[in-house]
Structure 1
C-alpha cells in the first residue's frame, strides 16, 4: 500500500503505473519468496539444532532400555526380602523395597552421654572409638552374628529369619551386653530399638503395649508387609527403666538427632528417686498441623530399655500373614534356630574355602570367617537417584530413581556402592553364593544409561547422601572407572562354570547382561580412546589445577597415583589398556557360552594383548619397565606463594595462602618411567604378558626388589625410588596410592604369580617362589593387625605393616580369604 500512494501523488498515469506493476510484483514477490524459504530453512535448522541439543541433554539420564536386568526383587525373592541391608549402621534391618519399614538399634551408657548426642551409638563412626565391631558370621540370607566392643563392654547382636506367610516371614534380633570387668557388673546401659517408615511408604506404624510386662512395641501395616508387629522380650537381666517415643522424624538421616532432642531427665520414685534419661512418649505436632490439616501420624517409634549389665533382650518382627507358626522365634526357640544355622555356616565355610584342610589354626579360621562375614553382612539395599552431569546439561540433573543391591567398601567411611570396588567384592561373594552375586551385578547394570555409562559412585537415599561431601556427589558421564565386573565374570567363568550352567535362570541372566556388556565396552572405546591405535586415556584429570602436585586420576581408581605431570590428549595409560583387553577377552568367552558371535571381541583381545603393540605403546627402553606416556616432568614442587606486594588493610602475614604447584623444568612428551609402582605391573597383573617374555623375568625381579615394591607385609603401591613416593598431593592431602600397601592389587599380584607359576615358561619356578612368599607375607600381616587392633584396614603401612586409613575395611581387603583358600 505504501508503494501505491507514492506514484499517485506525483501525477503519473494509473495505466503507466499499472503496466509496470506486474513485472515489479513478480520480481519482488520472488525475492520475498526466497527470503521466506531461507528464513524457514534457518528456522528448521535452528529447531533441529535445539532438538538435537535437547536430545543430547537427555541422554545422560535415559536408561539403557526398557528390558531390566533385575526381573525379580522384593517379595519375588522371599529368602532375600529382609536383611541387614543398612550397612552404615551398627545394626539395622530393612526389606528390598524402594520404601521400606526399617528397624535399628541405638545404645548409650547414661554416664557417658554428652551434649549433641555424643555417646549415642547408631551409625558406624570412627569417632566412637570402638575397640572392634563387625559380623563374625553371616550367610547372606538367613542369619548373622555381630560382636561390638565398646570400651570394657561386649555387645553382641544376632538375627535369624524364618519363612512363613505371604510377606517375607518373621525375623528376630537378639541384643546383649556383658563385661569381663567385675567392677563394671551392673553398670547401666540404655538400648533404643526402633522402627521407622519413610515419607513415601504406604502404611502406618504406632506404639503398642501387647502384654503386661513386655516393653512397648510397634504395630503397623504397609503395602509390602501387610500387617505386622514388633515385640520386645526381656530375655535375661534387670530392667531399671523403660520409656518410649512416638514422633515424626524429618528423615532417616536424623533419627539419632531426633532421639537426643527428645530425651528428658526424669525422677523415678519407685527406684528411690533415681534420675534417668527417658523418652517422653507421644511427641507429635498439634492436631491439624499436618500439610492437609489432618492430625500428624508417627513415622518413628522408639522403645528405650535401661538395664544393668549383663542384659539380653529379643526384638521379634512377626508378619501378620504368618498365621501357622508353631512357636514364636524367641527365647529357647531362637537359640535352637541360631545354633543350627551357625553349624550349617561353619560346615559350608570349610566346604567352600577348605582352610582347616589347608592347616590353618582355629583363630586364623575365625579371622577369615569374620573378614568374609563382614563383607557379606555389609551388603546393602539402597534406593534413590544419583546426581549426574554431561557437557550438554546446564548443570547437575537427577538420574532416574532405581534400587541398588550391593556390598560396600567400608561400613564406617564408605557405606555406599562403588563401581570398581564391587568387581573385587564379587570375587569373594560369587565363591560363596553365585545367585547373590548375579543379583548384585544385575542391579548395577540396571544403572547403565543409553550411552553405555554407569556412574562410578552410587549415593542413593537420604542416609547415603548425608554422609558424602558435596563436591563428590555429582557424577560426570565422561568419567570412567576400572571395569572390574569383567574380572568378576572372568572369575565366574573360570571357577564356577558348572554352577553357572546348572540353572537356566543363571544363563538367562547372562543373556540379558550380554548387550549391556557390549554397550559398556563400546562406551569405553568411544570415550576413553587415545590418539594412537590401541591406546587409552583416563578422562577426568584437571589440566588447569595449580593446587595438586600431580593432578589426580580418580577415574582410574588409583586416585593420586602419579601420572604425567601435565594432562593432555597425548597421554597413554597402561592400566586402562589392560582393563580393555580383559573386557574384550571376557565378552568373547561369554559369547562362546551363549553361542553368540564374539569374533570381534576375540580379535580385539588379540590386538590389544599383542605384546609387540604393548611394548610399542608402553615399554620404556630407558628403565626397562611398563609405563604411562604423556607430557611430563619430575621437577614439580609445592610452594607457598609470596605475600602480595601491596597488602590490603588488615592483611595478616600469618594468613598464608595454600601452597601451589611450581614447575621447575618444562615438561616434555615422554614415558613416565621415573614412576614405578602398581600401574607398571598391569600387563603382568592381568596376565597379558607372554610367559616366555624376558620382560616377565624383569618384572619378577622388580617385584622382589626391596627398594622398589617388596616389603614383608605385601607390595607397596609406589617404589621407594619414585620421585613422589610418600609425598602429599596437596598440603592438606596425605599420600594415598603413593607407597601404602593395598590388598586388592596385592591379590591381583598373588593371582598373577600363581598363574605364571603354573604356566610353562622359563620363569615359572621363580614365579612360584615369589608367590608363596608374597602370599604368606600378606596373610600373616593382616591377621597380625587384626589381632592387634580388632580391624581389617583400608591399607597397610609399607614400613611397619600397621593398618591405616578407614576401618573396618572389609571390602576388597577381605580378598585375603581367597588368598588363604588359594582361589583365583
Structure 2
C-alpha cells in the first residue's frame, strides 16, 4: 500500500517574518523606483534644458523660413546679370553669382609709381586724394560712364552690355585717358586690366593672344558663364609696352598686392629701353607641392597720353559675333544708351521743365548716377551673436544686392541707409528697388531680426575694422524700409498689379510683420507705449555720452547714464510710421489691417506723445532718462611707476560732476527733437507744430544758410568730442537724409489746412533752396557729394564721395517726396 504524504505544518512566525521581508523589499523597490523616476525626470529636464538652450543658440542664425524673397537671380534675370557691382574699386564688373568671374582696372603713371607700388590705383581710397571720381551717367543696368580726375589727367571708363545667348550676353568696357594740358601729352600711363575667378567658382582662365592686332586677352569657362573670351584692342594712341601676369591670388582683397609683388624692371631686347613689367606665367604651389591653377590674369598696357583701349567680353553662347562691340560700333551703342538715359531722367525728374540749367541738370545726373553705379552684389556670411551663443557665430551664406553709402569709406550694405536709397531707386525703377528689398529681407532670421551692417565676402570684410564686424541680435536700426514702402504705395499704387509686384509684396508681408514684432519685443521701454534703443554701453567711462549706434545717429546726445527707464522719442515715431505703412499694405493685400491701424492711432496720439516726450521746461520733444549735463572728459592723475620706465599717459575718461537724475533730456535740442514732426505725426492744428516750426527757424538753434545742423548751438554737447579720439559726428554737422525728412514734412504741412500752413510753405521754400544751392556749390568746388556739411561754412566734410543718401538732393530738386 502506498505511503500517504503527510501534510506540511504551517509556521506562523516564519510567515510573519516573510511578510515583513516582502513588505520591506516592496518598500525598498518602491523607493528605488521613485529614485529612478526622479533621476529620469531630472535627466529629461536637463536634456530638455540643454536642447532648449541649443535651440535658443541656433535661433540667431536660423533663416526666417524656407520661402525666399528673391525668386529670380543669376541667369534667371539676364538684364541685371552683369553689372558694375564692385563699388569698392574704381572700375570693375562682375555677375550676380555667389562666386563670380570679376574684372577690374588698376592704373599708374610711370613717373609716379613708387618702389613699394605706391601710386597704383585700384581701391576707392580717400588717401589717393583724387580731384574727383564718379559715374556721371548710369542707368543701373545697361551702361555707365565714369570720370576720374587724377591730377591733370582725366581717365574715363565706360561699359555697355548687349544681351544674347544663354549666359548673360556680351559687354565691352572702354578705358581712356586725356589731359587738357598739352605739355603732358606723351606722358606714360599703364592700364592693368585684370580678370579673376574666386576659389569656389568652378572655372578656369588662361591668357590668350590671337594675331598681332590684339593685346593679350583671356579665355576661360565658368559654371555660370560657360566658355567665354576677353579681348583687348587699342583705339587711340600707341601701345608702348605690354606684359601680362598669370598666377594664383590668395583672394580678391589681395589682387593689388599680388600685382605689386610681381612687378619687375625689364629691358626691351630690341630697343634696350627699361620698362616696369609683369613676368608672364608665375606658377604658385600649394602646401602639397602641386601647382595651383591660375585664378588671376592681368594685362598691363603702357601707352602715352592720350590713350584708349577697348576690353571686349564675348560669351560663346552668343551665336552672332559678326559685329564686335568695339570701335565705332561701341560708340554708337553707347550714344544710344546715353540718349535714352537723359530722356528717362527728364521724364522721371522733370528738372528741365522746372527751369534748371544744363549745369544743374548735369550735377543731378551725376549725383543720381553715382548712386546707381554704387549698387553692389555681395555674397558671404555675416558674423553674429546673441546672449545664448558662446561668442560670435556665422550667419548663413547669402547674397545681397544693394546700394552703398560711400564707395570709398562704406562700400557695403547698411540697413538704415538703404531705406533712404530706396526713395531714389524706386523713383527710377520700382522693380530694381523691389529686387533690393527682397535681397535684404532674405537676410531676416527666425526672430524677425536683420543684421544692420552687411559685411559679405573678402572684399567687403577687408575694409572693416575688426571691432565692427560682429552684429548682435538685440541691436537694430531705424526701419527706414517702411519709408520706402510707404513711398511706393502712394506713388506707384496704381501699377503694383503689374509685373508680379503684388506677389512680391504678398511674400514680403509676413516678414514685415515679423520685423515689426521684433521691434515691439526687443526695443520696448519700461513704460507702456515707450521704446528704447538697445546697444548703449551703460558701463563705459571713455565716452562723454554713450553712443547709440543702433539709432543711426551714433553720438547724438541721449541720457548720460543708460538704464531701463530711458525712452527714445525717435524710436517711438519710427514704430508709428511702420504701423501706418503695414496698415496701408494690409489693406492693399486684402488682409486685416485693424491691428496696425490701432497701433498707429495709439502711437500717433498727440496727447499720449506729449505726456511721454514733451518737456514743459524746454517746450520741445525730447528723450527721457537718467541724465546729467555736468560731465567732462579729463585725464586721470598719472599712476606711480615703480620701474625705471616712465608711466604711460592714460586716456581721458568721463568725470561726472553732478549726479544724474531721471528727467527729460531737454537741454539737448536737435534732430531727435523734431521726430514727431519729421514723420508727420503732429496734427496740423497742434500748437506743438507751431513751436517746432518756430524752433526750426530760430537763430542760434538749427537753422543755417546751408541746411539744418544736427545739434543746436545751445546744447551742452554741441561740437564736443565724445572720446579723446572721436570728433563730433552728429553734434553740429548738416546731414542730408534728415534735412530731406524736414523738407518733406514741411511740404506735407504746407498742403494741409491749418494755422501753420503758410509758415510751413515759407520754410519749405527757404530750406530746400539753401540745401540744393550749397550741395551743388560744394560739388563743383570739390568734385564730390559729401557725407555731411559744416554748419558754419557749408563745406563738405567726412567721407567722399557720399552718393548714398546725400544724393537725395536730386529728389529735393525734383520735389519728389
Common fold: TM-score over 0.5 = yes
Q: Does 1:514 align with 2:513?
A: no
1:326 CA drift (Å): 4.0
| Matched residue, 1:736 | 729
1:500 CA drift (Å): 2.2
Counterpart secondary structure, 2:662: strand
State the distance in 1 between where 2:331 and 2:449 align.
47
Among 444, 455, 458, the alignment partner of 1:462 is 458
State the distance in 2 between where 1:814 and 1:397 align.
36
1:752 CA drift (Å): 0.3
Q: Does 1:649 align with 2:648?
A: no
Among 412, 419, 423, the alignment partner of 2:419 is 423
| Matched residue, 2:703 | 710
State the distance in 2 between where 1:21 and 1:99 align.
77
The one-character-per-residue Cα deviations of 1:435-469 (angstroms, maximum 9, x if unpaired) are 10000000000000000000000000000001100
State the distance in 2 between where 1:671 and 1:499 align.
46
| Matched residue, 1:341 | 337
Q: Does 1:603 align with 2:598?
A: yes
State the distance in 2 between where 1:392 and 1:72 align.
35
1:651 CA drift (Å): 4.1
Kindly tell me the number of residue pairs found equivalent between the two proteins.
Answer: 805
1:295 CA drift (Å): 3.5
Q: Assess if the C-alpha contact under 8 Å between 1:158 and 1:175 holds in 2.
A: yes
Among 493, 498, 516, the alignment partner of 1:497 is 493
1:290 CA drift (Å): 4.2
1:153 CA drift (Å): 0.3
State the distance in 2 between where 1:17 and 1:248 align.
90
State the distance in 2 between where 1:589 and 1:613 align.
23
1:757-772 residue pairs with structure 2 within 5 A?
A: 757-772=750-765
Please, which runs of 5 or more residues in structure 2 have no aligned partner?
1-12
| Matched residue, 2:7 | none
The one-character-per-residue Cα deviations of 1:121-171 (angstroms, maximum 9, x if unpaired) are 001000111000000000001000000000000000000000111100000
Counterpart secondary structure, 1:496: helix
Q: Assess if the C-alpha contact under 8 Å between 1:713 and 1:781 holds in 2.
A: yes
Q: Does 1:256 align with 2:256?
A: yes
1:33 CA drift (Å): 1.2
| Matched residue, 1:663 | 656
Q: Does 1:181 align with 2:185?
A: no
Among 305, 310, 334, the alignment partner of 1:309 is 305
| Matched residue, 2:10 | none
1:445-594 residue pairs with structure 2 within 5 A?
A: 445-501=441-497, 503-594=498-589
Give the ranges of 4+ consecutive aligned residues of structure 1 lying more than 3 Å apart after TM superposition: 13-20, 289-295
Q: Assess if the C-alpha contact under 8 Å between 1:245 and 1:280 holds in 2.
A: yes
The one-character-per-residue Cα deviations of 1:571-619 (angstroms, maximum 9, x if unpaired) are 0000000000000000000011111111100110001000011001100
1:648 CA drift (Å): 2.8
Counterpart secondary structure, 1:105: strand
1:292 CA drift (Å): 6.9
Q: Assess if the C-alpha contact under 8 Å between 1:388 and 1:399 holds in 2.
A: yes
Q: Assess if the C-alpha contact under 8 Å between 1:739 and 1:798 holds in 2.
A: yes
Please, which runs of 5 or more residues in structure 1 have no aligned partner?
1-12
State the distance in 1 between where 2:795 and 2:209 align.
51
Q: Which moved more, 1:490-499 or 1:48-57?
A: 490-499
State the distance in 2 between where 1:383 and 1:484 align.
23
1:374-385 residue pairs with structure 2 within 5 A?
A: 374-385=370-381
1:430 CA drift (Å): 0.2
Q: Assess if the C-alpha contact under 8 Å between 1:102 and 1:195 holds in 2.
A: yes
| Matched residue, 1:300 | 296
State the distance in 2 between where 1:333 and 1:211 align.
21
1:223-262 residue pairs with structure 2 within 5 A?
A: 223-262=223-262
| Matched residue, 1:117 | 117
1:740 CA drift (Å): 0.2
Cα RMSD for the two superposed structures: 1.2
Q: Does 1:776 align with 2:780?
A: no
1:531 CA drift (Å): 1.3
| Matched residue, 1:753 | 746
Q: Assess if the C-alpha contact under 8 Å between 1:164 and 1:325 holds in 2.
A: no
State the distance in 2 between where 1:596 and 1:269 align.
78
1:114 CA drift (Å): 1.5
Counterpart secondary structure, 1:246: strand
1:759 CA drift (Å): 0.8
State the distance in 2 between where 1:521 and 1:368 align.
35
Q: Which moved more, 1:41-50 or 1:737-746?
A: 41-50
| Matched residue, 2:210 | 210
1:183 CA drift (Å): 1.5
| Matched residue, 2:278 | 279
